[in-house]
Amino acid sequence: MPTSAKDRLYKTFGRFSKEKFIIITAIVIFMSYHELWNVLWNWKKEFSVREFKSTFVSPDAQKVLHDMTKKGFLTRVGWGRYKVNSPEEYLAKRTDVAGAYELLKEAKIDYALTGPDAVFFWTKGGYQVDRFFGFYPIHLKVRKGDLSRWKEFLKSRGKRFHVKGEKVRKTLFGLFYLLYPEKDFRFVERDGFKVVPLEEAVRFCEENIYAYEPALEMLDEMYNLGLKIRYRKERTNF
């Protein structure tokens, strides 16, 4: 450890015995990455490896910075330089929405994107409501007979999920899968994904008209459904 770091630590904790100083050092070394991230956020938003080594006691500073970058706490911005990611940036990195949808293809089990996801896919990504990186459920119909297989698959991939109708035992946040067990269901292929039929997506919009009337107009225009929905015109022509 560079002398400057030792001097700074001894100056700060000089009133403690050598044994207590060792304990304090150990606490710093084994501080969780999440806690260290909070410290770095309040220390410097951008720093060099040298600055980190001269300030913090660590048995392997390079590994710590590498691990924190891999976990999304930091971003490498140049040779030997790192930027501390904001909470928003961290959550965005942790919420890989595209990857979460692609994971469905690996399951080799039937499903049907339903509800808000059916609307999202049938509008070709044109309508999204009540979801953001901090709360992003992916709505899936699954067969009751396949429910245990889905649970095992998602657990094996380290993904959070909740089964509709079951008691909520943990706070739901970030990206997770919301499973709707049904005896059977229909689906069609849309851009490589399995989605409930268009008429079911339309029915969902009609049943939730307050939030989905704009989506209903989009679907009407895109697929010539003859619904005569004129949300934008009526709401903007004052």
State the pTM of this model. 0.66
Phi, psi dihedral angles at 171 (to 5 degrees): -65, 130
| Domain 3-90 of CATH type 1.10.10 | yes
Q: Which pLDDT value is given to residue 95? A: 73
Q: What is the pLDDT of residue 233?
A: 47
For the chain (238 residues), the mean pLDDT of every run of 10, in chain order, is 49 47 43 84 94 91 90 91 89 80 95 97 93 90 98 94 94 93 97 96 96 94 84 46
Contact 177, 140 (CB under 8 A): yes
pLDDT at 16: 45
Could you give the C-alpha distances from 2 to 8, 19, 31, 51, 139, in angstroms and in order? 10, 21, 20, 10, 53
pLDDT at 232: 52
Task: Report pLDDT for 228.
Answer: 74
Whole-Å CA distances, 57 to 40, 52, 87: 13, 9, 25
Extents of the domains making up the chain: 3-90, 95-236
Q: Find the angle CA(133)-CA(44)-CA(12) to the nearest 5 degrees.
A: 130
Evaluate whether 77 touches 83 at the Cβ level (below 8 Å). Answer: yes
Q: What is the CATH number of domain 95-236?
A: 3.30.460
Please tell me whether residue 176 adopts helix, strand or coil conformation: strand
Instruction: Give the DSSP letter of residue 117.
Output: H
Residue 84: closest CA among 36, 151, 143, 138:
36
